[in-house]
Structure 1
Amino acid sequence: MSSRLYLVRHGETEWNRQQRIQGSTDIPLNDTGRAQSLASAALLAGVQPHTVFASPLLRAFETGEIIARTLGLPVPVPVPELVERHYGEAEGLNYRQIEKRFPDRSLVPGQEQKEQLSARSMRALHSIARSSDGEAVVIVAHGGVIRAILAELHPSGSHGRIANGSIHTLGFDSDLLSLVAFDQLVPPLTTR
């Protein structure tokens, strides 16, 4: 039975705006992020999703709650395997600070390895897809998680930046996941 999975990056936070690495640090949405979540919900209304799944980190779960409430769906199902990559000692730093402290980004103390992130992200995605029973579902996650999933599904593709509020469509058929559409971008929103 074929399904559609709509992978959504959470809305903006203050740390996103400040270009600080969040990782597993639990940062809430800002007003722009809430507006992005509403815009994502409006785009998803046409596909009539059955369920919303979300990382339990506040920024993703709140995005999922806004989408679910807007679409008249139950509260999102939390999926712990969808939390953002743990960036260890880089969390809270901006990109310039990271470049100074950790010239080799693969050697940041306490950082989760990309292979670990990819394995847990794909495990969660397959579990959700198998339970979807041919229904459309929304999955709210993080930039690192989405990049890991896209790299697995389309290894030769260049996916660049995963924008806040962006939507990526995946297909699931005969136990196989595929990338259907990349970056159905929600227009940039500002509250300033």
Structure 2
Amino acid sequence: MIRRVVCLRHGQTKWNVEQRFQGHSDIPLDRTGVAQAARAASLLAALKPTAIVSSDLQRAYDTGAALGRLTGLGVQVDKELRERGGGAWEGLTREEIKAGWPAEFEAWEAPGGEVVADVADRVSEAIRRWVARLPDDGLLVVASHGAALRLGIARLLGLPEELWSALGGLGNCSWSVLEEGRRGWRLLEHNAGTLPEPVSSDDRPEAETDR
């Protein structure tokens, strides 16, 4: 029994371009993001997914729905796959955050926002729950968010928290592939689907600027 998960980050939004912290704010895909979702769908449809599940935020749902239209699969919704909550930072640019909260910016801990370990737990648990519904050799596509997916992947792989930054950020409509084996999860691909480029996400700054 080998089951796989494709962790697909949503397409570009206006706030991505402006480098605003999105978090739980429900921001739609922009025109570029819609095109990115269509391109990703055309590639991922060839993998013949068994199921698609999405965050309840429209940028992720619309990304998953592009794949659903090609495969004929419905998109299930799970709010536990939301992006990391940004508290007081949601809607603010990187420069505004750095100017207003210099210490918190360095730690990337938003006042009133979610703790990274909590995000890792909820996202990884949600993925495990949906994977448990797959048949043998099933393939689940999870349409979610950059920081949420990176943290969830790190938890599934059993990495200690001090090594989570070893996983780079996910570009818009890029994906990572995980496989469930007898000894746990392993990472088959990471940030696939595009040539390397800067990542604009709610993730830690160093996860976005490292190439």
Same fold (TM over 0.5): yes
Q: How does 1:9-48 map to 2 (within 5 A)?
A: 9-48=9-48
Aligned residues of 2:124 and 2:153 also touching (Cα < 8 A): no
Identity rate, percent: 33
Is 2:175–2:193's contact at 8 Å kept on the other side of the alignment? yes
**Structure 1 residue ranges (4+ consecutive) displaced by more than 4 angstroms after TM superposition:** none
Query: Are 2:200 and 1:186 equivalent residues in the alignment?
Result: no
Contact kept in structure 1, 2:119 and 2:152, CA below 8 Å: no
**Corresponding residue of 1:170:** 178
- TM-score of the pair, normalised by structure 2: 0.83
The 5-angstrom pairing of residues 5-84 of structure 1 reads 5-74=5-74, 76-84=75-83
How big is the shift at 1:187? Answer: 5.5
Q: Deviations over 1:88-123 (max 9, x none)?
A: 001000111111111123453211111110110111
CA distance in 1, matches of 2:135, 2:3: 7
Of 127, 130, 139, which aligns to 1:128? 130
| d(CA) in 2 for partners of 1:109, 1:137 | 34
Q: Using the alignment, how far apart are the partners of 2:58 and 2:112 within structure 1?
A: 22
* Cα distance in 1 between the residues matched to 2:195 and 2:71: 20
State the partner residue of 1:148: 151
Instruction: Name whichever of 144-153 and 8-17 sits farther off.
Output: 144-153
Output the TM-score relative to the length of structure 1: 0.91
- Any gaps of 5 or more consecutive residues in structure 1? none
1:159 has 2:158 as partner: no
Deviations 1:38-90 (A, max 9, x none): 1111111221001110001010011111111122222x100111011101001
Cα RMSD (Å)? 1.8
RCO (CA 8 Å, sep 6+): is it higher in 1 or 2? 1
Q: Which moved more, 1:155-164 or 1:119-128?
A: 155-164
